[in-house]
Structure 1
Amino acid sequence: MAGAGGPLSRSGLRGREAELEELRALIDSVARSGSGALALIRGEPGIGKTTLLTEAVSRAAAAGFSVGCGKADELHHLVPLSSLATCVLHGDRPLLSGAALVDLARRHDQRIWLVERLAEVIEERAGGMPVLIALDDVQWADPLSRFALQQLPGRLRTSPVLWLLTERRGVDGPAEEIAAAVRDELPVRTLALGPLSGAAIGRLADDTLGAAADERVRDLLRGAGGNPFLAVEMLAGLRTADASDDPVPPGLVLGVRGRLSSLRPDTLRFLQRGAVLGRGFGFHDAAALCGRPAVALIPALEEAVRAGLLDDDGDQLVFRHDLLRQAVYVDIPPSARKALHREAAARLVTAGHQPIDVVSHLLRGARPGDREAVELLRRAADDVLPVTPGLAADLVTRALELVPTARPLWFEVGEQAIGCLNRAGRNREALATGDRLLACRPPVEMLGRLQAALGGTLWNLDLADELRRRTEAALTVGGAAPEVAARLAALRALAMSRAQDLVPARAAGEDALRAAVATGDREAHVQALFALGEIALNAGENAAAWERFTALSAVDPAFAPEEIVACQHMDDFAAGERLLARAADGAGGIREAMLLWAQGQQHLGLGRLDDADADFLTMERLEDEVQAHVQQVNGRVIRSRIALLRGDREAARDHLTEARRRLAAKPNPGNTAAVRFLEAVHAEADGDVRLAVDRIRRVQDEGPFLRWRLLRTWVGSAIRMALRGADRELAEDLAAQAEAHAERNPTVPTATGVAARARGLVRDDLALLDHAVDLLRASPRPLVRAAARADLGRALLAAGRRAEAVTALTEAHAEFAAAGAHAAAAQVQRALRDAGAGSRRAGGRRPVQGWEALTASEKKVARLVAQGHSNRTAAELLVVSPHTVNTHLTSAFRKLSVNSRVQLANLVRALPDD
């Protein structure tokens, strides 16, 4: 490998030969294997992290890598993507142009979307050459860069991308979180830099002083404690010191501070103002903070550069090492630092900087009652809310602390804080903030605003009764602005969607919708349509739900997943497919995890178990990444059911355990019912019919609204459990429920067919079971069709009508097998053997390793990637999410025992033609 074995390029690497060799080997491995890796260099300030990183970057560039190298900054650690931007914008061939990055920032409204776009850019570059992305001082990385760094290495693990990060030891930073996030997916190396040996320090002295590095100097250098930066600073002082009996300038052993003692007052003042601005700062900004014309400070700048304290790159001034900046900074009295930070914020805003650019200064310098600081923090929170809601919540919460309690502005800022906390998923904190504001008796109009802001909080916490109580109380008090009253009315209707009698809820929703349209308030309009959609679902009225969610999606495209699932309830999977494709085209405005939920439901309904499982797995990962756990319990319930259909009992039990664990964290009625139903399915599989019946009965008795949502297509399984447990009353109740659902949805073949099947099972009526099969021929759901045919086949067999039974059972077996429901197919196969038909060999099971272990979708993805497609282009061809493609690709790599796209391409090319 070019550049790998030459001499050390700088004396600062003395004593780091072993670490450098380890990095060289990692660079070589990434280039050779075509797969990713991550290296983390840790150590105290001045220990040589940056020098080692710089040398690694040089060697990677010499080896043909495309290199992006950047540095996080302590005073810019809140600006979204500022840290990672330094990596992708710099270098001979930047990964992104400045205009492209601005375009990304302008268009995105979700972190996941932005990370996916960055991944595409890096993946495209890595398709032609290996890539190194290096970030120095990652402990100061901004929240969005930290989020991206937790996702991107794993997302790009199949491409030749090396991530190189440095972090200070002893500083709470994100490096370990980043490493932990990717450790199971790609190689991670941690290089902990300790003090240099005495011999290495001695070689540094020889490099700097030559013959002057006598034993007295070496004794002195022991005071550096093996820290190469301090040693170099001492040596620089020795080299420039005047000859005397004591060659050591006063204070030199103290390290950096000794360099400042000989500076003129103007220079020191200039450096202090620069240190307040950050490690890198503008000359004019520092001059303004000094209160002097820039031209008057040119001598100070020149002296600072001559003293080796600052570098001037033509665009900005940079402290040569952050230890230098800190040494200057800590000598400023604390009260003066606070005032300078506040003044710096004002100067930067006047110069045209954005509010988020000055937030670090405001957090250090703002005092209670500083209204301008409050407004800047609020504006910054609004700017970063779409991509870093947690940061937005922190900023506006800080703004709230700066406002005197119970003042009008305090309530306004508090309302904004509730909204930001909700977006960040910090619902209990939002509720506590709201209640603290309400306890101070806000004006009547603000009372309504605060209760409306808390509506989403209470809904997310599943406090429907409390939501109804509060909204009704606020509406009774009156005094709210018309648009706020419309929001409160819509929230009240939403709370009523959980009631047993939904007639009043529907009337309340219609009234709320009219009020929302009359006021023109978008938030009220969205909330009213969502409430009406929920009411229709809970009433089992699928057509009405589809109508409401279609209207809602037109107002706010983020609700496209709800519209797609509503289509599926109407058996219109073709419309669902079109909507999925349209949503993928505009994914920037869609909740990615919920879109995957809709995609998984589409695949599940169409009997594509492998694809559905991949979708729900991907959805869970995305929800974990953004810490928004909405569908994780239901996702695990479905995945457990899929595993049982496939015959993987171990995986099914694991999913049940995880569903229970997540239910404990979010114990709402829907999640509870779903887990209890799953427990019933497992109990039946384990032969515990009594437990199965108990769980089904509890689902029926608790939460009446769930009757229309949970058992739509699985009611037949529940009835069989009730009949096996001799609980005819429960079986009759379930059948009546299915029939009522069919009456509400007479144009939905699945609904009418399931109802006929349910009544046929209860009555043991062959004619009804046969009618159910006929009705379900129009259903697009193969698993439902197969289950009905299996029931009919068994009933025919019991009636002695063997030939008809074999036909029905054979059709059921074929549909189960085609869907990948191997366990269900095996049960039908046993019934066929009892009828004297069918093979005694179990078939259809995939191996666990090798090409034939791949699912059909995994094979498609593997072939597309082998042809050179990126995740995005493969997703477009397959009409799925790029995240789902990544899930399929990860599984394919594991089954094929390959680590890179290059290895995958070689394997695919070696396969025989189909």
Structure 2
Amino acid sequence: MEPLRGRSEELGRLLEGLRAAEAGTASLAVVTGEPGLGKSALVAAAVEQAERQGFLVALATAQQTDDISPLSSLAPALRAGREPLIDTEHFMELATLNTQPLWLAERVADLVGRRLDGTKALIVLDDAQWSDPLSAFALRVMVARLSGHQLLWLVATRPAPGGVVDQIVNAVRAQVPVHAIELAPLTADAIQDIAKDRLNGPVEPGLARQLADVQGSPFLAEQLIAGLYLDAPGPGQGGDGPGSNGGRLGGAGPSGGGLAPVGPLLAAGLPAGPLAPGLVEGVRRRSSGLSEAARTLVRTAAVFGSEFRLEDVAALMAEPVAKLATALDEAIQAGLLVDAGSALRFQHELLRSATLADVPPSAQRALHGAIATQLIAAGRGAAVAAPHVLAVAQPGDTAAVGTLRQAAQELLATMSTTAAEVIQHAFDLTGVDDPLRAEVGVDVVAVLLTAYQYDRAKAFADDLLSGTALYHGPVTPDLRASIRLLLAPRQWVAGRLERQDLFAPGAAPHLTERLTAYRALLSPDEVPPADLLARMTDPVARAIVLAAAGETARAEGRYAAARDFYVEARQTAPDLGSLPNTRLEVGELYCRAEADELLDALTRSRELMTAGDWQSAAHLSVLHARLELAAGNLEAAEEEARTGLRWMNEFHDTRLAPGMHQVLALIALLRNHPTKARELTGADPTINTLLAIADGDDKAVARLRDVPQGFPERIDLLVRADAEDLLAAQVAASPSTAALGAHELVAAGNDLERLAAATEQLRTTDRPLLRALAEDRYGRAELESGDRATGVATLERALESLTTLGATAPAARIQAVLQAAGVRRRRWAAVPARAEAGWEALTPMERRVALLVAEGHTNRSAAEELVVSASTVGTHLRSVFGKLEVNSRVQLTRLVLERFAPHPNA
């Protein structure tokens, strides 16, 4: 490989990224530059260096037409080489997830992460501005998920503010360092050096003067040196080949000009920005030596786009494919086209743009129209024809609108982001007072919602219905109701449903019923579901009311009844306004778990985590984390909670984050990590109460009586609070085994027989933490009664279970009881090493003393509160001073107040 001229600093920064990756620090490098400045040459140099250093290299180049096929941009990097990042079997499985981008991205990240364990790697995506949406999203997830690997991500792109690459950078900069490398035009000296390298000698003065006009572009310099601006080259003289210098752009990476608002799919066949002086003339000179058939082939191909099929061009030219073989060979030998096997493409987008500039606009329009007609007639689909339809469509062209609507529907299942751009263009082609505009507007709202662009869909819908410049036609009651019903399901899931949006006087009866049903879902007190069920005749409306009844029953703790409502609601076939099935099943599974079906619910939730509606991912994640916690799977619950928080940040919707923080805080407390729990609590009163209990505040136990119905592991907390009346209410609402056993455990008091029966009942549940809590109570009671054998055996069973689960905090408390009872073991595995300093170093009694002193107690009053002697309090206080490194009560009080200060957002 010839030296890379003028880019030593940029290459050095990439090499630093490789060294950091080898040392274990993953990062993302973004190379940005205009066409022809040598982005791909710089990438190639980095790849060569990485391979020399033993890196696994995975390389892909995005294509301008990638928007039509999901994951097409990234797939070559995943599948290249003898030992690809993802093997064939697993890659084929990914096809089933094309409609679930979140699950697919997570699966890709998981597979690649396993492959790269212990392996240093460079993963490259060139021409990233053309990435299909699914590849771009998968890349965002992968960079964040694999931040702990020996990995450098390298992305090369054209400048596109707010485009694909900017979105990736903004999404991952908190997880990995980002190296922005912007390529400026090469210096005159670097351009001269390229010429010397290619000519193997000095540069003649005439050529040197011409090189001064290439505007620092290594690509244009290469072409000039190869004779592009001079004489037509002979065979093999085309520029940008495998041995070219700074302008070598890889051949396999078509690019295109601007058009960011239109999108890559819609830019096919359109020219790039302003061309360098002389480039068009140079292409004319190069083409002048071609036969008429070859020139026609090249010009026709330029209208098709950067990538095309020979058979399509042949059909348009009404020539047999075999007859064009010679013409194609001429174009390839002239350095204009490249045969990539399955398709043909221009050697560089600048060459296509220069060729296209020589095709009169009227001819371009005629060719675009003919291409669109041909592609549709050949059964290639409206999505493939869409770019050409857009190139010739005029406002009011109903045929073009119809084609684009069909294209949007073809793309919707797998490429919803692209579908959103297509349907928006269809809408723009209709007149502001054309009734068809309203019909297409409904499509726009539906597609935007499917593409998870709620804010854009809501703003569009409001404009459409409010008589703005967007639409001047009649807003019928049915139009208003239809759009409101399109929005309502997602608004409900996202907690954004507003009562005023649920009216459309004069709409069709079935639409009116559905809007009324949503009002019952939003405000069950105002519109009682029970009163509506008997009156609803529309199946969708009835399903919504059933869901409302389920939500009400669940909030009241009537889990069995709520489960049945959700099940019945899910039996209705989907239609306009239908609630997302996955969201209904989330409610059902939560209720099943609370109604003695925990393990079945957990199994189903695991299935939904890779097969459910990805737009309900946040609700699914909260459910799954809760069920894993209830089943005692602390590691799985923690992992799921953190994954869910990452997804919420990804979609900028943290409304359900408190539920995740509750799960994480409970796990931290079970593991004896109160500081970590405190970092997660925010203004959550229940978690703050649990922390107070962990810190020795017995009075805080009473506050657990106010634990909300939906708090994770509420029954366990009510047992700890001895809330017999609340447990009785729970039994009355939903008499599950867990609720019955928990109520009896608290109601038994010191009655050993009842305690034994309650403990035995709870042993039949699938909740190991609750079982251990019961055995702890029963074992302590037996010890206090004098039955050492039963008490020790029961407590040891609880200790073993908690130790296995990793719940070291309750395990340590049980161990302390056993040790006080004289039980001896060669090794006590459950007790975590106590910190030597800081709050975690304090014993429970020392924490209680610290809290009392901070409240203003003297040693004597604190002793009375704790029922110990004042000298004992003094001993504990001196130990507190030492561990917290304070010298006075004032300092201690300040430290405690800082620790227990309300959250700034409380």
Question: How high is the TM-score relative to the length of structure 2?
Answer: 0.70
Q: 1:735: Cα distance to partner?
A: 4.9
1:628-643 superposed matches below 5 A: 631-643=656-668
C-alpha contact (below 8 Å) 1:489/1:508 kept by paired residues? no
Asked whether 1:546 is paired with 2:571, we answer no
Question: Which of these residues, 773, 781, 797, is aligned with residue 767 of structure 2?
Answer: 781
C-alpha contact (below 8 Å) 1:565/1:598 kept by paired residues? yes
Relative to total residues, which structure has the larger helix share, 1 or 2?
1
- Distance in 2, matches of 1:101 and 1:817, equals 39
1:202-217 superposed matches below 5 A: 202-210=192-200, 213-217=203-207
C-alpha contact (below 8 Å) 1:35/1:158 kept by paired residues? yes
Q: 1:605: Cα distance to partner?
A: 1.0
Q: 1:846: Cα distance to partner?
A: 5.8
Q: Counterpart amino acid of 2:642?
A: L
Partner of 2:508: 479
- Distance in 2, matches of 1:715 and 1:646, equals 16
Question: Which of these residues, 470, 473, 495, is aligned with residue 522 of structure 2?
Answer: 495
C-alpha contact (below 8 Å) 2:630/2:713 kept by paired residues? no
Asked whether 1:821 is paired with 2:821, we answer no
Q: 1:591: Cα distance to partner?
A: 5.9
Partner of 2:133: 143
Distance 1:387 1:714, change over 3 A: farther
C-alpha contact (below 8 Å) 2:815/2:830 kept by paired residues? no
- Distance in 1, matches of 2:276 and 2:479, equals 62
Partner of 1:421: 448
Q: 1:217: Cα distance to partner?
A: 3.4
C-alpha contact (below 8 Å) 2:229/2:279 kept by paired residues? no
1:668-707 superposed matches below 5 A: 675-682=684-691, 707=709
1:509-658 superposed matches below 5 A: 509=533, 512=536, 515-516=538-539, 527=544, 530-550=547-567, 558=582, 561-579=586-604, 595-625=620-650, 631-657=656-682
Partner of 1:506: 530
Distance 1:195 1:602, change over 3 A: same
C-alpha contact (below 8 Å) 2:449/2:457 kept by paired residues? yes
- Distance in 1, matches of 2:776 and 2:497, equals 41
Partner of 1:740: 729
Q: 1:840: Cα distance to partner?
A: 15
Task: Spell out, residue by residue over 1:261-315, the C-alpha distance to the aligned partner (whole angstroms, 9 max, x if none).
Answer: 5456978886555444322223454577789998998898677555533334465
Distance 1:808 1:99, change over 3 A: closer
Q: Secondary structure at the residue paired with 1:455?
A: helix
Q: Counterpart amino acid of 1:433?
A: F
Q: Counterpart amino acid of 1:434?
A: A
C-alpha contact (below 8 Å) 1:719/1:758 kept by paired residues? no
Q: 1:742: Cα distance to partner?
A: 0.7
Q: Secondary structure at the residue paired with 1:414?
A: helix
- Distance in 2, matches of 1:433 and 1:140, equals 26
Partner of 1:753: 741
C-alpha contact (below 8 Å) 1:138/1:173 kept by paired residues? no
- Distance in 2, matches of 1:427 and 1:736, equals 44
C-alpha contact (below 8 Å) 2:103/2:611 kept by paired residues? no
Q: 1:110: Cα distance to partner?
A: 0.3
C-alpha contact (below 8 Å) 1:108/1:588 kept by paired residues? no
C-alpha contact (below 8 Å) 2:802/2:810 kept by paired residues? yes
1:370-519 superposed matches below 5 A: 370-405=397-432, 407-439=434-466, 442-462=475-495, 466=499, 471=502, 473-474=503-504, 477=506, 479-481=508-510, 484=511, 487-488=514-515, 490-496=517-523, 498-499=524-525, 504-509=528-533, 512=536, 515-516=538-539
Q: Counterpart amino acid of 1:257?
A: V
Asked whether 1:51 is paired with 2:41, we answer yes
C-alpha contact (below 8 Å) 1:36/1:157 kept by paired residues? yes
Q: 1:169: Cα distance to partner?
A: 4.6
Q: Counterpart amino acid of 2:487?
A: L
Distance 1:63 1:459, change over 3 A: same
Asked whether 1:352 is paired with 2:379, we answer yes
Q: 1:165: Cα distance to partner?
A: 3.1
Q: Secondary structure at the residue paired with 1:844?
A: coil
Distance 1:838 1:256, change over 3 A: farther
- Distance in 2, matches of 1:28 and 1:534, equals 55
Q: 1:228: Cα distance to partner?
A: 1.5
C-alpha contact (below 8 Å) 1:560/1:595 kept by paired residues? no
- Distance in 2, matches of 1:773 and 1:579, equals 28
Question: Which of these residues, 712, 715, 722, is aligned with residue 713 of structure 1?
Answer: 715
Asked whether 1:278 is paired with 2:305, we answer yes
1:800-879 superposed matches below 5 A: 815-827=801-813, 844=830
Q: Secondary structure at the residue paired with 2:830?
A: coil
Q: 1:34: Cα distance to partner?
A: 11
Q: 1:779: Cα distance to partner?
A: 3.4
Q: Counterpart amino acid of 2:806?
A: G
Distance 1:714 1:123, change over 3 A: closer
Q: 1:570: Cα distance to partner?
A: 1.1
Q: 1:604: Cα distance to partner?
A: 0.9
C-alpha contact (below 8 Å) 2:67/2:415 kept by paired residues? no
Distance 1:538 1:509, change over 3 A: farther
Distance 1:26 1:339, change over 3 A: same
Partner of 1:868: none
Q: Secondary structure at the residue paired with 2:70?
A: coil
Q: Counterpart amino acid of 1:72?
A: A
Q: 1:47: Cα distance to partner?
A: 2.2
Q: Secondary structure at the residue paired with 1:224?
A: coil
Question: How high is the TM-score relative to the length of structure 1?
Answer: 0.69
1:11-160 superposed matches below 5 A: 13-15=4-6, 40-54=30-44, 69-74=59-64, 76-77=66-67, 79-85=69-75, 87=77, 104-105=94-95, 108-115=98-105, 118=108, 134-153=124-143
Question: Which of these residues, 274, 283, 290, is aligned with residue 260 of structure 1?
Answer: 283
C-alpha contact (below 8 Å) 2:338/2:346 kept by paired residues? yes
C-alpha contact (below 8 Å) 2:275/2:354 kept by paired residues? no
Q: 1:97: Cα distance to partner?
A: 11
Q: Secondary structure at the residue paired with 2:155?
A: strand
C-alpha contact (below 8 Å) 1:644/1:652 kept by paired residues? yes
C-alpha contact (below 8 Å) 2:2/2:197 kept by paired residues? no
Give the root-mean-square deviation of aligned CA atoms. Answer: 5.3
C-alpha contact (below 8 Å) 2:94/2:104 kept by paired residues? yes
- Distance in 2, matches of 1:611 and 1:803, equals 35
Distance 1:252 1:276, change over 3 A: closer
- Distance in 2, matches of 1:226 and 1:444, equals 61
- Distance in 1, matches of 2:509 and 2:486, equals 13
Q: Counterpart amino acid of 1:506?
A: A
Q: Secondary structure at the residue paired with 1:452?
A: helix
Q: Counterpart amino acid of 2:279?
A: V
Percentage of identical aligned residues: 31
- Distance in 2, matches of 1:528 and 1:176, equals 43
- Distance in 1, matches of 2:753 and 2:596, equals 24
- Distance in 2, matches of 1:270 and 1:805, equals 91
Distance 1:491 1:825, change over 3 A: same
Distance 1:176 1:602, change over 3 A: same
